[in-house]
Amino acid sequence: MRQPFATLTEAAEALRTGKISSRELVEAALADAEVLDPLLGVYVNRFPEEALTAAKAADARPARERGPLHGLPLALKDNFAAAEGPVTAQSPAHDPSWWRGRDAPAVARLRAAGAVVLGKTTLTEYAMGRPDPRHAFPLPRNPWDPRCWTGGSSTGNGAGIATGLFLGALGTDTSGSVRLPAALCGTTGLKTTFGLVDKDGVLPLSPTQDVVGPMGVAAADCALLLDVLVPPEHPGAPRPARPPLGDGSGEGLRGLRVGVPFALLEDEAVSVECRAAFEAALETLRNAGAVVVDFALPEFETLLAESTVTMLAEAFAEHGERLGARWADHGRVFRRLAAAGALVPAHLYLRAQHSRRRTRAALLERLRGPGGADLIATPTWPAAARPYTRESAPGDELNLTAVWNPAGFPALALPMGADPAGLPLSLQLVGEPHAERLLLAAGDAYQRRTSWHLRRAAPDPAQRPDAVPDPDARRGLLADRDPGADLGADPGADPAGEVPGETGAAVEAALADAGLALDPGEPAAVAALARVLARSGRLLTAPAR
């Protein structure tokens, strides 16, 4: 690869001292993309002419006028508006006139700080679900094994940073969409506190859970981008962390209490390799001065239920009208997930919002009280990336990312190891709202003592992996089924029958009332999702403990 620097902060320092020009960095990034992008599906659109023009202007700028991101080539997930070209949202159904020719405020901040936009990266359609190979968009592949899923929905960002096609990017996170690609591709990603970064000009999925988040090679890269997105004088800026870490002596973590929900992590979904890597990561934090304590998460299932109900209901509210008008133009996975949101009754959605407020308050009280913690640590995901042929379905895996979106807490994903095949494993650190600087300080202390984040994937561009399987050929709740199939008794079904989900026929009738006409086989696939909603509804009606 031609990219000569390991991290974004290293490249920034080289630009500042004149060791390299912005044009050289951009030319290297564009050349690398020509080689690897056909295999990995990193970009939806590249902007080579615009990027080279911006790099030339950056190189000509006097030193006194240069910002903190001077000349750095970055990428944007393709749900951000940018002046160079329309947002696609990786959907044939999207209106290309939306915010066309304008920058989202977050993008404008990056440019004002000197960044060069290389292009727009792949994502799952409207930032939810999985890719549909029927569409003409690039299909994202994991650079450590192109047969595997990158994690979503900021798919191209994860693959691009892992291979050095760029060293930093902007993503969004609704239930893990910054952290999952960071985890499965072996990079670093920050889910910010809800409301911290301006979301204007960013396509919504679940407006009360969506956040903008920086992605990079290292925690220091994310910190560099965050300082531009949310400058210190901003009224909502994150609280200062402990004293700077300086030479990595560990003073910044001395006495820091890191809570671990050990009982939760006994779940069989946590792989042996992930468990071992996590234990090693905790030992590294101890060596950096942290105190690791047991911190139970009895709120876990409730938080997951809040996330599920909120995301699907809001996704349908945002996209339902277009979905009804152009059903066939949407990918099968996205449209089935969004259609399930039509099955959420208003009172269940409102109950989820009330529950979110109670759960957040209770969790903050426990964190701040006796036996509490400054940060929470878990794996980001319980295992390494799976092949596309072994994809899981909603409810099949231990989802350790989605729980923090309904609470609005910030969370940092950073590499902590690899499985025997070399696929990355990831550590997640979670803090109270506006504790980003503490999270990044802890992440930086960890990364000063480890080198997992410095591994760079080097896939063979001549590989020809098998085609991404059709959604209806995959295992799981999103697969096509016999439309008349009875899904059987569900021990977790909502006893009040609030979510129609016993048969495909029941769902078909409910969705018809919502203005949706599904293809044959799809009502039963949505009915399976309705059962997940029903279980969530039951959890949200259970008396508070």
- For residue 142, what are the β-bridge partners? 145
Q: What are the tokens at 166?
A: 């760029």
Pairing of strands 375-379, 257-260: parallel
CA atoms within 13 A on the CB side of 402: 24
Would you say 346 and 397 are in contact if contact means Cβ atoms under 8 Å apart?
no
- Give start and end residues of each alpha helix (H) in 369-464: 404-407, 436-448
Specify which residues 211 forms β-bridges with: 173
3-state secondary structure 503-539: EHHHHHHHHHHCCCCCCCCHHHHHHHHHHHHHHHHHH
Catalytic residue among 177, 355, 426, 536: 177
In the chain, the amino acid numbered 358 is: R
Find the catalytic residue in 22, 91, 153, 536.
153
Which residue do the tokens 């050349």 mark?
31
Q: Please state, in angstroms and as integers, the Cα–Cα distance from residue 233 to each residue in 120, 178, 203, following that order.
A: 29, 25, 27
Q: DSSP class of residue 411? A: E
Q: How far is CA 491 from CA 36, 97, 481, 488, in A?
A: 48, 47, 21, 10
CA distance 230 to 239: 11
SS (H, E, C) 225-286: HHHHHCCCCCCCCCCCCCCCCCCCCCHHHCCCEEEECCCHHHCCCCCHHHHHHHHHHHHHHH
Tell me the two tokens of residue 363.
């969790």
Q: How far apart, in Å, are the Cα atoms of 302 and each of 30, 52, 205, 265?
A: 45, 49, 21, 17
Under 8 Å between Cβ of 523 and 500: no
* Identity of residue 414: L
Q: Is 77 a catalytic residue?
A: yes
Q: Using the 8-state DSSP alphabet, how is residue 425 labeled?
A: E
In the block, residue with structure tokens 């920086």: 214
CA pair distance 251, 249, nearest whole angstrom = 6
Half-sphere exposure for 12 (CA within 13 Å, toward CB): 21
Distance CA 403, CA 12 (A): 34
The answer to whether 404 and 435 have CB atoms below 8 angstroms apart is: no
How many other C-beta atoms lie within 10 A of the C-beta of residue 279? 13
Catalytic site residue 392?
Answer: no
199 has catalytic annotation: no
> Of 519, 476, 462, 147, which is closest to residue 330 (Cα–Cα)?
519
Selecting among 77, 120, 191, 199, the annotated active-site residue is: 77
The catalytic site residues sit at: 77, 153, 177
